[in-house]
Structure 1
Amino acid sequence: MTTLEAASTPAAAPVPSAARPGFARRTWRTVRSSRTASIGLAVVAVHIVVAALAPLLTTYSPTANDASHALLGSSWSHWAGTDQYGRDVLTRVLYGGRYALGVSVTATVLTLAVGTLLGCVAALRGGWLDDLMMRVLDAVLAVPSILALLVIVTALGAGSGVIVLAVTVVYAPQVVRVVRGAALAVVPADYVTAARARGESTWAILRREILPNITDVLCVEFAMRASWVVLLISSLSFLGFGANPPTPDWGLMVSENRTAITVVPMASLAPIIALATLVVGLNLAADGLSKAWGVDRIREGS
């Protein structure tokens, strides 16, 4: 490829992602060519399907107590046994996937939206605004994540809404740094300069020129951030600051049944296995897509 041809590649004349018919096909080819990404996305897909079909896969209630069936071992009636309240462990694990995916995806989407907006604005505007935002983010990132979450949840109370808000506050600064690093590579481009010369608004430049060119970074960041969010939310529930009983939550299940692990080990192991496979699937997907799209360099440079 000559120098002139290289200068006329799609990167030099981006269009909105909605008008890029090749992105979906390119993503599909990437997934098919990366065994790591394929395995990871397949594991995540299994979790999504199982969570969606939970009412069809079991006839037991995930919250109803039955003292006469407490602490039963594995059997044909209860494949993973029952917990100390007589609830079917497998049923609670299946329904727990709904809570884990629902809250985690909501928190991750909101985190990515806030981080993307602030990161792109900081990169595009630059100057004192960029410096001020980075110093504020440095202060926020200096606080350990779990400590910040505990402070927010303690102050505002438990509940899904509070957890989503807390996760957004804790993780958005990290997303801002990653997105800002990716956007800084796009801002000096000629097409961004031309858009500024035409008098286009900041929002129009972000939407038409910058966002379509950092979509790969955003996809990888979503998968990686989601795995951390799942672990963080489960950790909160294990510590008693997340889901309230009798919500079928994996972290809460481990906390409730850890004292009876020698009697009914699956009551604790089943949610641990479910959590581990989901996190591994998300990490594999993020790692595979990152290597296939060459996002590693951008992340390291941010």
Structure 2
Amino acid sequence: MAATWRLLKSAPPTAWFGMAVIAIYIFVAIAAPAIAPFGETEVVGGEYEPWSWVYLLGTDSLGRDMFSRLVFGARNTIGIAALATALAFLLGATVGFLSATLGGWADQLLSRFVDILMAIPSLIFALLILTIVGTSIPALVAVIAILDSTRIFRVARAVAMNIVVMDYVMTARLRGEGMWWLITREIVPNATAPLLAELGLRFCFVFLFISALSFLGLGIQPPTADWGSMVRENATLISFGDVTPLFAAAAIALLTVGVNFVVDWMLHVTSGLKE
């Protein structure tokens, strides 16, 4: 605990800013029902009501409170992005470690399969698959997790390839340790630092990817509140000088910047560089 506090005290202001942003977003996502004055899908007024003490950011084309939907959008957008990132990380890291440990034809087969998937543009591939299988939340999470796991596979395999040739891994092999023991006891502890930084970056990419899909109409579907779809649904307001749709875009940008600040600090700490 003391070591963690010393590490946090040494963090630069940008990292503290990023951690504060992440903490606020998590709080808003968890406490959304208590913060939002109206329900997520509740029609509370007329079409495009102006800002007021009742409707803090006005209403949308269906008369739903924009501020309430912005708050609930934090829960939906961040929650789904976090779930997709966790699944992608679990799948990509596991297969990457396994590929590096096995080596030989198994490594080549897995690597070439991943190369094929990575050769297809992610957005086009996701649009194609979601058009075929539907745009439900489980399908959205599964498609994004599979696509993003290919990037994590490359990082995990590259890190593991440098570890499996170390003397302590060779010694463990000579002792007759099994595959699971080598991965969990030798590779994972020594690969944690770079993969944690990669986890933050992957979350940003997934978060932006989901928002882009929602903006195109194939992400999180109505009436579920989502920042990407909120920008698309209310973009017409910008033509009349109303900046309300930009709040959802700003929420996406602010979280991305905050996470990247924290990731930059983590990379600096794990690399062993000194000021």
For Structure 1 versus Structure 2, the TM-score category normalised by the shorter chain is over 0.9
Q: CA deviation at 1:109?
A: 0.4
Partner deviation per Cα, 1:147-188 (whole Å, 9 max, x = no partner): 111111111100111111111121111101111111122111
Alignment partner of 1:115 is 2:115 = no
- What CA distance in whole angstroms lies between the structure 2 residues aligned with 1:25 and 1:129? 44
Alignment partner of 1:83 is 2:60 = yes
Change (3 A) 1:219 1:26: farther
Name 1:56's counterpart in structure 2.
34
Q: Helix, strand or coil: the match of 1:262? A: helix
Name 1:274's counterpart in structure 2.
251
Q: Name stretches of at least 5 consecutive residues in structure 1 with no aligned partner.
A: 1-23, 297-302
Name 1:227's counterpart in structure 2.
204
Change (3 A) 1:286 1:53: same
Change (3 A) 1:62 1:139: same
2:151 alignment partner, one of 174, 185, 190:
174
- What CA distance in whole angstroms lies between the structure 2 residues aligned with 1:150 and 1:27? 43
Q: Which has the higher contact order (CA 8 A, sep 6+)?
A: 1
Deviates more, 1:205-214 or 1:53-62: 53-62
Q: Helix, strand or coil: the match of 2:225? A: coil
Name 1:208's counterpart in structure 2.
185
1:223-262 matches, within 5 Å, as 223-262=200-239
Q: CA deviation at 1:30?
A: 3.9
Q: CA deviation at 1:260?
A: 2.3
1:146-185 matches, within 5 Å, as 146-185=123-162
Alignment partner of 1:283 is 2:264 = no
Partner deviation per Cα, 1:255-287 (whole Å, 9 max, x = no partner): 110122234724311111111111111111112
Residue pair 1:34, 1:289 contacting (<8 A) in 2 also = no
Amino acid paired to 1:86? G
Q: CA deviation at 1:70?
A: 2.0
* Count of aligned positions: 272
- What CA distance in whole angstroms lies between the structure 2 residues aligned with 1:196 and 1:105? 36
Misfit runs of 4+, over 6 Å: none
Name 1:17's counterpart in structure 2.
none
Alignment partner of 1:101 is 2:78 = yes
Q: CA deviation at 1:100?
A: 1.0
Amino acid paired to 2:103? G
Q: Helix, strand or coil: the match of 2:127? A: helix
Change (3 A) 1:238 1:272: same
Deviates more, 1:123-132 or 1:262-271: 262-271
- What CA distance in whole angstroms lies between the structure 1 residues aligned with 2:104 and 2:3? 36
Q: Helix, strand or coil: the match of 2:239? A: coil
Q: Helix, strand or coil: the match of 2:59? A: coil
1:74 alignment partner, one of 36, 51, 55:
51
Residue pair 1:81, 1:264 contacting (<8 A) in 2 also = no
Q: Helix, strand or coil: the match of 2:163? A: coil
Report the TM-score, using the length of structure 1 for normalisation: 0.85
- What CA distance in whole angstroms lies between the structure 2 residues aligned with 1:99 and 1:30? 32
- What CA distance in whole angstroms lies between the structure 1 residues aligned with 2:24 and 2:227? 17
1:126 alignment partner, one of 86, 92, 103:
103
Q: CA deviation at 1:27?
A: 5.5
1:136-147 matches, within 5 Å, as 136-147=113-124
Q: CA deviation at 1:75?
A: 1.7
- What CA distance in whole angstroms lies between the structure 2 residues aligned with 1:267 and 1:82? 9
1:38 alignment partner, one of 16, 24, 28:
16
- What CA distance in whole angstroms lies between the structure 2 residues aligned with 1:232 and 1:148? 12
- What CA distance in whole angstroms lies between the structure 2 residues aligned with 1:198 and 1:53? 52
